[in-house]
Amino acid sequence: MPKPDAQDSRLVRWFKERVPLQIEVFEQLAKEPIPNHMKRWWYALGGTPLVLFGILLATGICLTFYYIPEPGKAYQSVQYLTEQVYFGWYLRSMHRWAANLMVVAVILHLFRVFFTGAYRRPRELNWMIGCGLLFTVLGFGFTGYALVFDQLSYWAAQVGTGLAAKTPLVGGFFQRFMLGGEVVGENTLSRFFVFHIGVWPTVLTALLGAHIFLFRGLGIADIGAKQLSAAEARDHAGMLKSGRYFPFFPNHAMTEIVIALAILIVLTQLSIVWPASLVPPADPLNTPAHIQPEWYFFFQFQLLKLFPEKLALGLQLVMVLILVFWPFIDRALLQRWNNPWISPAFGLAGLAVFLGLTLNEAFHGYVLFDDWYQRLLAGR
Ligand code: HEM
């Protein structure tokens, strides 16, 4: 139990008597040494999804006050919120833009960790937890998009769950579980809603807790420097004195606060210039000419257009496995060839494929070389 100090105010003494917190532990955490390279914002990109998650929670709670997860009422409730409720359009637009920026921020953070090699021993586990965070963020996007229940979101849910059903062994079960029947309907909407406001936030919070615990415990990877011994890493005062580190508080905390304010300004601007819109309500009898998922699924969508279904699904599975187990694959590659350029080359190739397919779907909506590819498949 913490002992009240003679100089403490009455209020502080009151709390110290009742709340058994070791203030020194917090002081220690606040002074944690951060390597100097983290002064540059692109290294500190992990804080951005954290801020966005806060904004998504705050705006999401407000949206839930109005949203009704029933096929006959969902669209109308979103329309009411957008058109009638004071600042409803702003809340909805902020939520939508924050969701999109969250995916961008997580992908940028992933690439910064990748290209700085910060996933290497002893941070392999944190990389894998990070992959869990990425998949959860995508799960948020998929379930959230469907909730609006307009033509786009209805058909995206129908096609998305239909594709998931093709996954060997578990696909059929997964599809029935998500749909709660054969087609997108009443059960689907309530299940998507439960996932979006209950399951994913819980999973994300738990994974984030583990992620933060690990990177605070292991310390931020000191890029380009030799690995500290356990004793050196515990000597925070010595690390700070070396001039190669700076304290988390106030220095790094200020960087994160400035980033958070900038994000709020950018989100507000985006919401004003491009507010979240609505297309006509879902019509199960009328398949729209162009069905497209959210942009962060364009990559998979293009793979499905490029390759026969089974091959495309197989490729996706292989890519997911490579991503999750990359720290171990990288180690094996380094041991085999001892060439430091192999990993960045893999990363650049991955980035090029991801960007190429995403932009191709975004700008053309069709596959370049489609004719050529069909002829190739047909052996002509
Ligand atoms: C909701 C998503 C995520 C959040 C909020 C988050 C947050 C953070 C934060 C605040 C840091 C401290 C360093 C920094 O700011 O860059 C960090 C480090 C780290 N993250 Fe993430 N992260 C997320 C997703 C990911 C993903 C998708 C990966 C990779 C697949 C990943 C892998 C790592 C690793 C390996 C570190 C340690 C890096 C180092 O020591 O320099 N994280 N994360």
> Is the pLDDT at 373 greater than 50, yes or no?
no
pLDDT at 233: 80
Task: In whole angstroms, give the CA distance from residue 82 to residue 368.
Answer: 38
Quickly count: other Cβ atoms within 10 Å of residue 249's Cβ.
Answer: 14
Q: For residue 50, which atom of ligand 1 is closest to its CA? A: 5
Hey, what are 275's tokens? 């507010």
Question: 181 alpha carbon to ligand 1 midpoint, in Å?
Answer: 38
Hey, what are 103's tokens? 């995916």
Task: In whole angstroms, give the CA distance from residue 124 to residue 119.
Answer: 5
> Is the pLDDT at 365 greater than 60, yes or no?
no
DSSP string over 160-191: HHHHHTTSTTTHHHHHHHHHSSSSSSHHHHHH
- State pTM to two decimals: 0.90
Quickly count: other Cβ atoms within 10 Å of residue 231's Cβ.
Answer: 8
Task: In whole angstroms, give the CA distance from residue 293 to residue 157.
Answer: 8
Amino acid at the residue 210: A
Q: For residue 48, which atom of ligand 1 is closest to its CA? A: 5
Mean residue pLDDT across the chain: 89
The residue whose CA has the least distance to atom 23 of ligand 1 is 130
Task: In whole angstroms, give the CA distance from residue 284 to residue 114.
Answer: 43
3-class secondary structure, 26: helix
Q: Which has the closest alpha carbon to 248: 35, 48, 49?
A: 35
Are the C-beta atoms of 97 and 164 separated by less than 8 Å? no
Question: 86 alpha carbon to ligand 1 midpoint, in Å?
Answer: 36
Q: Report H helices in the chain.
A: 10-18, 23-30, 47-64, 74-83, 88-115, 124-147, 151-164, 171-179, 186-194, 200-218, 230-234, 236-241, 253-273, 298-306, 309-324, 326-337, 342-363, 370-377
Task: In whole angstroms, give the CA distance from residue 376 to residue 367.
Answer: 14
Residue 292 DSSP label? -
3-class secondary structure, 288: coil
List pLDDT tens digits, range 236-293: 888 889 888 999 988 899 989 999 999 999 999 999 999 998 988 999 888 887 777 8
Q: For residue 119, which atom of ligand 1 is closest to its CA? A: 35
Using the structure block, give the residue that is written with the tokens 């599809």.
175
Using the structure block, give the residue that is written with the tokens 């033509």.
151
pLDDT at 43: 84
Task: In whole angstroms, give the CA distance from residue 113 to residue 224.
Answer: 13
> Is the pLDDT at 6 greater than 60, yes or no?
yes
Residue 110 DSSP label? H
Amino acid at the residue 51: V
pLDDT at 3: 65
pLDDT at 129: 98
> Is the pLDDT at 371 greater than 70, yes or no?
no
Q: ω into residue 33 within 30 of 0, thus cis? A: no
Instruction: Please classify residue 211 by burial: count the beta carbons closer than 10 Å to its beta carbon, then call 0-12 exposed, 13-18 middle and 19+ buried.
Output: buried
Instruction: Give ligand 1 pocket residues (Cβ under 6 A).
Output: 44-47, 49-50, 106, 109-110, 113, 118-119, 123, 126-127, 130-131, 133-134, 137, 208, 211, 215, 220-221
Q: For residue 107, which atom of ligand 1 is closest to its CA? A: 27
C-alpha distances out from residue 361 to 15, 223, 254, 321, Å: 58, 36, 39, 24
Are the C-beta atoms of 300 and 318 separated by less than 8 Å? no
Find all residues with CB under 8 Å of 51, minimum gap 6, and list them: 256, 259, 260, 263
Question: 333 alpha carbon to ligand 1 midpoint, in Å?
Answer: 23
pLDDT band at 2 (very low <50, low <70, confident <90, very high): low
Tell me where in the chain the CATH 1.20.810.10 domain(s) lie: 39-218+243-291
CA 219, 224, 226: angle at the middle one, nearest 5? Answer: 65
Find all residues with CB under 8 Å of 220, minimum gap 6, and list them: 34, 35, 38, 118
* CATH topology assigned to domain 39-218+243-291: Cytochrome Bc1 Complex; Chain C (1.20.810)
pLDDT band at 348 (very low <50, low <70, confident <90, very high): very high
- Bridge partners of residue 34, in order along the sequence: 246
Hey, what are 196's tokens? 């979006």
- As a whole number, mean pLDDT of residues 151-168 equals 86
Find all residues with CB under 8 Å of 200, minimum gap 6, and list them: 136, 139, 140, 143
Q: Which has the closest alpha carbon to 49: 256, 350, 216?
A: 256
Q: For residue 131, which atom of ligand 1 is closest to its CA? A: 30
Quickly count: other Cβ atoms within 10 Å of residue 74's Cβ.
Answer: 24
Are the C-beta atoms of 67 and 91 separated by less than 8 Å? no
Question: 211 alpha carbon to ligand 1 midpoint, in Å?
Answer: 7
